[in-house]
Structure 1
Amino acid sequence: MGDPPPEALWRIYGFDLSKNSPRVMQLQLHLPNMHMISFQEGQDIQEVLNREDADKSIPTEYFNANKVHEHARGILYRDFPEWYTWQKGKNKKFWQRRRREGGQVGGIVSAHPAEGERYYLRVLLNHVTSATSFDDLRKVYGKILPTFCEATERRGLIEADNTLDKCLTEAELFQMPPSLRRLFATILVFCEPSDVRGLWNKHLEAMSEDYRHINPCTFATQQMVLIDIRNMLQSMGKDIRSFPLPEIDEAHDTANGVPREIFEESTIELDHEDATMLDSLNAEQRAAYDEILSAVESDEGGVFFVDGPGGTGKTFLYKALLATIRGQGKIVVAIATSGVAASIMPGGRTAHSRFKIPLSVDDGAFCSFTKQSGTAKLLRTASLIIWDEASMTKRQAVEALDNSMRDIMSRPELPFGGKTVVFGGYFRQVLPVV
């Protein structure tokens, strides 16, 4: 059946049949060849890629409209929905000019400065008209620049900020190269520098000073610095490929494809004093040491709690266990609830940092790492997990680790997936909060 007479009349005269509230359209924003494609579960990927509309998106069809329609060439991307309407059908995606100019909706394009090139693409789209391709957006005075960031700077749409350069220059006076590399990674993640490559070129020499003593080759030292910064960015949840830095030659990666988390844990240097602590354990410490070590060697798993007030030798016991098991070439994950307690143990980390425990954790929660992540591979490889000051953390945090361990180990019937876990603390030192 067709439309009722009143609705048919409204269609004939082009009146609005519905309204959009708020009266804006969320426009897509993606880098070249990074648009999303929807498909049915189980559908052949090659069949999806061969679809007629596989390479089409709202931005690419905006460029195409600028090629085809002369009227479109003076309209900014964000204003496009006021003059054109987005049509999407079977194997068809395109912009169609509205029947009445000055439509009801505008467009909104979202991107954060920390997103790097995607943010600079947004700046260009909000200021440049008549672009017919991504390359056209990067063209300034007839020259196609390598990045959207450089095109934005050349057009004068962003201002240069030398504050970050001064920060690194000042840090070079008193900081060692590893600290400079961490500062550089922190700046990349949190400070949104407009000229990343300029900062890199200017401060590479200071950041690579320690590596130059090991290897005089300039390219090799550059690769060592890049790999170190990449690992730091990964720990902050970022990918170095999202920043305009030189490409990494994996041949210089001493980890040889081993996940960063496992490589870091397996390269912790053993303290010779810790190795001799075994002979100094008292009777109670030795009993706990023997029972925990027996569970590790049998690979049967188990959950232990070392109870005792401060100063009774819990950390002494942890160090003896760490030295013995790591001395056998095995991996031990040492964490604590607080940063101070974590710093006392060799290779110690806070629980939230190592296990990616959410800050707001509820009953039934999981840690925020995937089964394919480096953290999951580390936990599967680990022979022992030591968690100090467990009495100070929320119950839900421990349960989140338990749920995640059962999942990644594929042993849901065993506590912590069958791993040997040692908790430590003293509940009588934890004050009640009313």
Structure 2
Amino acid sequence: MAMVRASKNIVSYVRELKPRKDTSRIEVRIVRLWRNYNKESGNTMEMVFVDKEGTRIHASVGEQLIKKFDDKLREGDAIVVQLFKVYDAIGEYSTTPHPYKIGFFQTTFVGKADDFPSAVPENYFADFSDILEKLDFHLPDQELVFFYEDEPIESILNKKTVPRERGFAIGRIAHIQPSSDKLYFLRVLLNWVRGPTSYEDIRIVDGVLYPTYEDACYALGLMDDDKEFIEAIKDASDCSSATYARKLFARMLVSKSLSQPHVVWEATWEYLTDDILYKKRRETGRPDMNLTIEQIKNIALTEIENHFLSNGCSLKKWPHMPKPEDFGSYNGIRLIDDELKYVVEDQLKENERLMAMITDEQRGVYEQIPDAVLNDSGGVFFLYGYGGTGKTFVYRALSSAIRSRGMIVLNTASSGIAALLLE
């Protein structure tokens, strides 16, 4: 550690600073300034200086001198510094690559550097692409192949994978959404398994080769055991109904909350199917009806699958999950079939019941819309009225009238009460 003697004419660059080397002054800009505290040195003022060459160095003002220099040091200012000490850059962290730091004395002089350039070369930060490399990966036989637009297909199919060049870089594996299934679990394992030389090595845990990446993740304890979701389904079945529990299970699947859906199914199927036999006895009018366990499971899985299909999803996304027996055999349009499940005779009776209660004002609205539908003239109708004036009632009458003719009606509502009343 040494004091730097002052000379009015000589200006040193930051790269020239060394302990016990005489120098006159430095001209720098304060690019960073902050306060720090630790038990050994107490409160300090910390800075990063940059000179005209773009070289940076850390500078520090001790607790007893902060009051003296507080109004002379501002982040962004260009200053002249004289009579300072230079010492080894030791400590818990390093803010610059420079091997030394600057310390202030009681006699250190700080003034303005009026001729300091507004922009200096930047030698501190490296290009982000130089220090961080995105590490792509792929499943077996799914590597990317680059080719020219006019390249023959035979040449493209015969292309060989080019090994990556070895070198030094800070890498980060590409982010993968959990919905990507196999690729997501492969990414989890790549962050955990050291030195694999093949895809099989990645799936080996304690000498056991697991069939899927998901199973390997589960064996390593990298995935949750789903116990909280199993308990949630049991509670839902006890507090509400098995129908609600099935919908809850479906939402858990869609949201990718379950690590092993098939395990959750096996642990909760009795709760998820608790009302199946009762519902079937009521639907058929046969109170003595009996179903096998497999039949009950199949009905529940069919209901879950139908719930998925109505939301653009399918149990096919979960290969380990059991499927209903007629899974994959349907070739129609499920959305249309779901909307045509109603019984025409029941809709006709419902319409007659509602029409017996309709007011003259409501009838005037009611008669206009079916005419537009039946004559295929189309139109947009705005039905306005205060709460309780019967807007939802009119739409129910319209829906039953159109459905009684074997046609489809899709009702939507912006409020919760109307949504409950409309079907």
TM-score range, shorter chain: 0.5 to 0.7
Change (3 A) 1:144 1:40: same
Change (3 A) 1:323 1:194: same
Q: Could you list the per-position Cα deviations for residues 305-339 of structure 1 after superposition, in whole angstroms to 9, with x for gaps in the alignment?
A: 22322222222211111111111111001011223
Query: Are 1:113 and 1:192, in contact at CA under 8 Å, matched by a contact in 2?
Result: no
Change (3 A) 1:144 1:265: same
**Which whole-Å CA distance do the structure 1 matches of 2:362 and 2:261 have between them?**
53
User: Which of the numbers 295, 300, 306 marks the counterpart of 1:225?
Assistant: 300
Change (3 A) 1:264 1:30: farther
- Counterparts of 1:158-173 in structure 2, within 5 Å, are 158-173=223-238
Change (3 A) 1:144 1:333: same
1:245 is displaced (CA, Å) by 3.6
User: Which of the numbers 157, 168, 187 marks the counterpart of 1:52?
Assistant: 157
1:52 is displaced (CA, Å) by 2.7
**Which whole-Å CA distance do the structure 2 matches of 1:203 and 1:93 have between them?**
46
Query: Are 2:138 and 2:183, in contact at CA under 8 Å, matched by a contact in 1?
Result: yes
2:281 pairs with 1:176? no
1:239 is displaced (CA, Å) by 4.2
- Counterparts of 1:406-421 in structure 2, within 5 Å, are none
User: Which of the numbers 262, 279, 290 marks the counterpart of 2:336?
Assistant: 262
Q: Secondary structure at 2:136's aligned position in 1? A: coil
Using the aligned pairs only, state the percent identity: 31
2:366 pairs with 1:286? no
Query: Are 1:289 and 1:321, in contact at CA under 8 Å, matched by a contact in 2?
Result: yes
Partner of 1:97: 165
User: Which of the numbers 269, 276, 280 marks the counterpart of 1:204?
Assistant: 269
Change (3 A) 1:31 1:290: farther
- Counterparts of 1:368-387 in structure 2, within 5 Å, are none
1:252 is displaced (CA, Å) by 5.5
1:35 is displaced (CA, Å) by 5.9
Change (3 A) 1:157 1:315: closer
1:297 is displaced (CA, Å) by 1.1
Task: Please say which of residues 178-187 and 296-305 is displaced more in the overlay.
Answer: 296-305
What letter is aligned with 1:188? L
Q: Secondary structure at 2:326's aligned position in 1? A: helix
**Which whole-Å CA distance do the structure 2 matches of 1:141 and 1:217 have between them?**
40
Query: Are 1:114 and 1:192, in contact at CA under 8 Å, matched by a contact in 2?
Result: no
2:392 pairs with 1:327? no
Query: Are 2:178 and 2:184, in contact at CA under 8 Å, matched by a contact in 1?
Result: yes
1:105 is displaced (CA, Å) by 4.1
Q: Secondary structure at 2:211's aligned position in 1? A: coil
User: Which of the numbers 317, 322, 327 marks the counterpart of 1:242?
Assistant: 317
What letter is aligned with 2:156? R
Change (3 A) 1:203 1:249: closer
Partner of 1:137: 202
Change (3 A) 1:217 1:305: same
Query: Are 1:29 and 1:110, in contact at CA under 8 Å, matched by a contact in 2?
Result: no
Query: Are 1:117 and 1:242, in contact at CA under 8 Å, matched by a contact in 2?
Result: no
Query: Are 1:197 and 1:244, in contact at CA under 8 Å, matched by a contact in 2?
Result: no
Query: Are 1:196 and 1:244, in contact at CA under 8 Å, matched by a contact in 2?
Result: no
Which structure dedicates a bigger proportion of its chain to helix?
1
**Which whole-Å CA distance do the structure 2 matches of 1:338 and 1:34 have between them?**
47
Partner of 2:31: none
Change (3 A) 1:135 1:233: farther
Partner of 2:190: 125
Which structure dedicates a bigger proportion of its chain to strand?
2
> Larger Cα Rg: Structure 1 or Structure 2?
2
Q: Secondary structure at 1:173's aligned position in 2? A: helix
What letter is aligned with 2:173? I
**Which whole-Å CA distance do the structure 1 matches of 2:225 and 2:382 have between them?**
55
Give the aligned CA root-mean-square deviation in angstroms. 3.4
Partner of 1:304: 381
What letter is aligned with 1:266? L
1:295 is displaced (CA, Å) by 1.4
**Which whole-Å CA distance do the structure 2 matches of 1:300 and 1:153 have between them?**
59
2:211 pairs with 1:146? yes
Partner of 1:188: 253
Change (3 A) 1:220 1:22: farther
Aligned residues: 285
Q: Which has the higher contact order (CA 8 A, sep 6+)?
A: 1
2:133 pairs with 1:25? yes
1:220 is displaced (CA, Å) by 3.7
Query: Are 1:227 and 1:253, in contact at CA under 8 Å, matched by a contact in 2?
Result: no
1:181 is displaced (CA, Å) by 0.6
List alignment gaps of at least 5 residues for structure 1. 1-17, 54-90, 347-434
Q: Could you list the per-position Cα deviations for residues 341-371 of structure 1 after superposition, in whole angstroms to 9, with x for gaps in the alignment?
A: 222112xxxxxxxxxxxxxxxxxxxxxxxxx
TM (norm. structure 2) is: 0.58
**Which whole-Å CA distance do the structure 1 matches of 2:138 and 2:311 have between them?**
23
User: Which of the numbers 374, 378, 394 marks the counterpart of 1:317?
Assistant: 394
Change (3 A) 1:247 1:199: closer
Partner of 1:344: 421
**Which whole-Å CA distance do the structure 1 matches of 2:408 and 2:364 have between them?**
22
